[in-house]
A and B are shown apart, each in its own frame.
Chain A
Amino acid sequence: MYYQFGSKKTKWLPYLLLLPGLLFYFIISLGPSIATAFYSLTDATGIKGATVNWVGLANYREFLFMGRASADNLAALQRTLIFCFAVTLIQFTLGLFIALLVNQKLKGTNLFRTIYFMPVILGAVIQGLMWRLFLYPLGGPASKLLALFGLSSEFLGGQPSEAFAWVIFIQIWANMGTTMMIFIAGLQTIPSEMYEAATIDGASTWQVFRNITWPLLTPSVNTNLLLNIIGSLQAWQLFLVLVGYRNGTQVLGYLIYATGFGQTSGSTSSSFRQGYAAAASIILFLLVLVIGMSVQYILQRRERRILG
């Protein structure tokens, strides 16, 4: 169908009205995204108007191969992968399981859904502070609970690996609701006749799940897997609120922020290593791209096999 508003002379009007939004998008989002690659080859700092020199691949060399710092970087990279794997695996499985539970014909499922989904709106700061109180090491609820089993812990203030594990836990707590909601939306597209037919044929709960629910849930399985993987590779806000920039807990996202903008808000802008941080951003981007694309490829092959 063709544009038919007003006289022919106004055909440019849609273009004109589209222009502001498009410009914003290019200037604020798309342009800077692409420019990250260029900045990664420079020694840019946080000083206004300072000369920016071309340094080639020096930032990447330094990030990956130079001494102690690069050992720390590679450890952060490894930690990012562990974080991604643990969060995705648990959040995906738990989200699916809970979605199946609340999708039954039970009373009060709406209430449970709302409760699990609640943290999504609160944001990282409130989520983080809530859990810092709950994990208060001197007699908070979690420490009392552990004491019942004769255990004790310093939680977020304990060993780096322990603090790291708690951030994983809280990350899942905060975002499981989203995964669950996407699965519920998927479950509701499965026609109930299919379940009725299976029940008449005497299929067990597991058989129904294996042969009806799981294959027909493919679109939401794909969405959730990709969202969880990409989201957890890039997430670090909870680290900021829960543990701060602490050795042995950093992930790549936090490392980019800390090198690019100083570890504390009080540090001077001359210590901002923005070229170096841009290089780290590109490395994180490549990680997201490679993992995201491979998972996407596997998922699509699986989808063709199942849904034909």
Chain B
Amino acid sequence: MISEAKVHKKISWGKIGSYAVLIILALLYLGPLFMLVNTSLKTMPSFMKDATGLATEFKLGNFVEAWNKASFPKYLINSVLYTVSATFIYIITAVFIAFPIARKYIKFSGVFLTLFVIALFLPPALIPQFQLILNIGLYNNPIGYIMLFIVNPIGIVILVNYIKTVPRELDEAAALDGCGYFRFVWSIVLPLIRPALATVVVMHSIGIWNEIIAPTIYLTNKDYYPITRGLIVFQGVYGSNWPLLAAAVLLLTLPMLVLFLVLQRYIVSGLTAGAVKG
């Protein structure tokens, strides 16, 4: 009895300590978010007077003003257009690369796979990529911008590994039934590898959506800006008006947070794919 009680006490001290650390760290993560929400509900004078004081006005005017002043609808449409079209082209081409490599239906499939793996270690393609886009006349052009994002070697490696877990007997059965190659990949393989597809699609789209360097380099026309660049421009103009800026940032943060809660497991599986095996 005595020893059991002792063990019990020891464990709960460990628990308390763990919770203390976890909660303090959580405050560090939620604090900036809370500050953002609080500031966005304030007026400029009350922010100047006391930046950290709790908002008492609860006015949504900042959101309306930010939405109207920042041309967010235009930037959002651009972001959606870039993200959806580049991800669509990428994922379709990627499946037709990954499937034959995983199945060894093409010669030198090992070499092909290595080609995609080494991409992770090569120097950044920044400068020659710019020269390429510039010289084919697609600088400051949405098509040129989308082109930059139709490639992602990590995604191919994830797909190859996943397709290897789909039983080969399916291929044989389908072939016996006279199913063609394209139809097999399109209507049988695609649905079967949905978890891996979801992971790759989510990872790839988030990358495009959050991209800030490429739009700064490649797009000079305001009409083409994606939302990240739009936010930077807005910050340049209204940088000192924190309540307004906070409302603008929050307008873009909230949908991302909702999406995050829905898609979290795909993002996590994308990050940890292959990580455990090393």
Q: Give residues in A with beta carbon < 8 Å to B.
A: 1, 3-6, 10, 13-15, 17-18, 20-22, 24-25, 27-39, 44, 46, 48-49, 98, 101-102, 104, 106, 109, 112, 114-126, 129-131, 133-134, 136, 138-141, 144, 173, 178, 181-182, 185-186, 189, 205, 218-220, 222-224, 234, 237, 240-241, 256-257, 260-261, 265, 274, 277-278, 281-282, 284-285, 288-289, 292, 303
Contact = CB atoms under 8 A, between A and B. Distances in A.
Output the residue of B99, B231, B245, B275 with the most chain A CB within 10 A.
Answer: B275
B52 to A, nearest CB: 5
A223 B119 CA distance: 17
A202 B172 CA distance: 55
A71 B274 CA distance: 41
Contact of B125 (A29, A115, A124, A223): A29
A121 B106 CA distance: 37
Interface in B190-237: 206, 209-213, 216-217, 220, 228, 231-232, 235
B132 interface: yes
B272 to A, nearest CB: 4
Contacts of B128: 31-33, 35-36, 38-39, 278
A116 B99 CA distance: 35
A44 to B, nearest CB: 7
Given A241-B212, A257-B126, A24 B151 contact: yes
B272 A185 contact: yes
A117 B256 CA distance: 13
24 contacts: A1-B103, A1-B104, A14-B181, A28-B148, A30-B119, A32-B132, A33-B124, A36-B127, A46-B134, A48-B137, A98-B21, A98-B25, A101-B21, A101-B22, A106-B18, A112-B25, A121-B267, A126-B249, A129-B231, A139-B51, A144-B52, A219-B275, A260-B126, A303-B278
Contacts of B94: 21
Interface string B116-143: 1001011111111111101101010000
Contact of A104 (B18, B231, B232): B18
B231 A116 contact: no
A261 B220 CA distance: 12
Nearest to A129: B249
